[in-house]
Chain A
């Protein structure tokens, strides 16, 4: 593990701890009720997690849409655009606790590790449908049901499992839906052993929100085409299986910086205002 990767892991660990700093909740099974929950964190972190000290933007967005009296979600939408403009999908690479969990799972040795496969590119579009249908349209139509959270969100399932460990009364309300969600989580855990960040690649609605911002966010990559020798080292090293030499600001790039570390010519770099000229896209 190089310096850059160690730094990222440290930032991810600190971000996960800060977003889940209600440590006593893990022992008591009681969730945090303080003012921090007025604010949404940039990553996917369920507000029903016993450790969560702030709110999940996807949960909060669905909550605004499921109200009987529709209210436009100004605040959550504003925060999402704000995080998107500043960081783009660097949120996924550095700040999302569920991203960290998937990264750690992928480090576990497994007989078959898959970098990419034939349908990989097309499957990545699913997350945009998840955002549109499960997070926006269905919750707005079927009032009172945050469909993505209720049926898919693995962060919520993890929170549920943590709460079940501490609150025996919750065992009485377990139903088929929870078993379905546990199956989804188990599938993602298994997939994470083989593929790097399957949830981020194919399903995460928050990744779908931040993806279009990658081209204009303050955190961006730039390629010095004169230095690039097209060796392909960046593409081979990319955990998200994108080709930074072709598109340094791909919507799939989570800004992990692995391509920067392996480039023998230092042709790739983070954009610093007024320093290097960006590749026209």
Chain B
């Protein structure tokens, strides 16, 4: 994977994989789950709870 072409292929594969994962996440409503957690003060996250 040292060549420029190899890196380009790997980059494209990973980028495509990332887009597929994001799309799959949106399809199963992951962003809503992220939102639900993030709009309340997470006492555990800040070390208070």
Tell me if A33 counts as interface (CB < 8 A to partner B): yes
A55–B7 CB distance below 8 A = no
Report which of A31, A38, A157, A216 forms a contact with B34, defined as CB distance below 8 A.
A38
Q: How close is B39's CB to chain A, nearest CB, in angstroms?
A: 4
A contact face: mostly helix, strand, loop, or mixed: helix
- Which residues on the B side are within 8 Å of A24 (C-beta)? none
Interface range, A side? 35 or more
Roughly how many angstroms separate A174 CA and B15 CA in the complex, as a whole number?
43
CB–CB B11/A85 < 8 A: yes
For chain B, the count of residues having a C-beta within 8 Å of the partner chain is 38
Complex Cα spacing A79 to B17, Å: 10
Per the 8 Å Cβ criterion, residues 1-37 of B in contact with A are 2-4, 7, 10-11, 14-15, 17-26, 28, 30-35, 37
Q: State whether A59 touches B18 (Cβ < 8 A).
A: no
Q: A157 to B2, Cβ gap below 8 A?
A: no
Task: Say yes or no: B39 contacts A79, CB within 8 Å.
Answer: no
Q: Would you call B19 and A75 a contact (CB within 8 A)? A: no
CA distance A73 to B3 in the complex (A): 32
Question: Which residues A5-40 have CB closer than 8 A to chain B?
Answer: 31-33, 35, 37-40
Of B19, B40, B44, which one neighbours A82 at CB under 8 angstroms? B19
Residues of A within 8 A of B2 (CB): 280-281
A177 beta carbon closer than 8 Å to chain B: yes
> Is A223 at the interface (CB under 8 A from chain B)?
no
Contact with B along A144-161 (1 / 0, CB 8 A): 011001110100110110
Q: Which residue of B lies closest to A279 (CB)?
A: B2
Which of B20, B38, B43, B49 counts the most chain A CB atoms within 10 A? B38
A106 located at the interface, meaning its Cβ lies under 8 Å from any Cβ of chain B in the complex: no
Considering the chains assembled together, what is the distance between the CA atoms of A143 and B3 in angstroms?
43
Judge whether A243 is part of the interface by a CB distance below 8 angstroms: no
What are the nearest 8 A-B pairs in CB distance? Answer: A75-B25, A78-B21, A160-B46, A75-B30, A78-B22, A74-B25, A181-B47, A47-B38
Question: 26 A–B contact pairs at CB < 8 A?
Answer: A38-B34, A39-B34, A40-B34, A47-B45, A56-B38, A59-B42, A60-B34, A64-B33, A74-B25, A75-B24, A75-B26, A78-B18, A78-B22, A78-B23, A78-B24, A79-B18, A81-B14, A81-B17, A82-B22, A85-B14, A145-B44, A150-B44, A151-B47, A156-B46, A159-B45, A170-B48
Identify the B interface with A (CB < 8 A): 2-4, 7, 10-11, 14-15, 17-26, 28, 30-35, 37-49
| Chain A residues in the interface with B (C-beta under 8 A) | 31-33, 35, 37-40, 46-48, 52, 54-56, 59-60, 63-64, 71, 73-79, 81-82, 84-85, 145-146, 149-151, 153, 156-157, 159-160, 163, 170, 173-175, 177-178, 180-181, 215-216, 218, 277-278, 280-281
Having A56-B38, A177-B47, one finds 17 other A-B pairs with CB under 8 Å, namely A37-B35, A47-B37, A47-B42, A47-B45, A55-B37, A59-B45, A60-B37, A64-B30, A71-B33, A74-B21, A75-B24, A78-B20, A79-B22, A85-B14, A149-B46, A216-B11, A277-B4
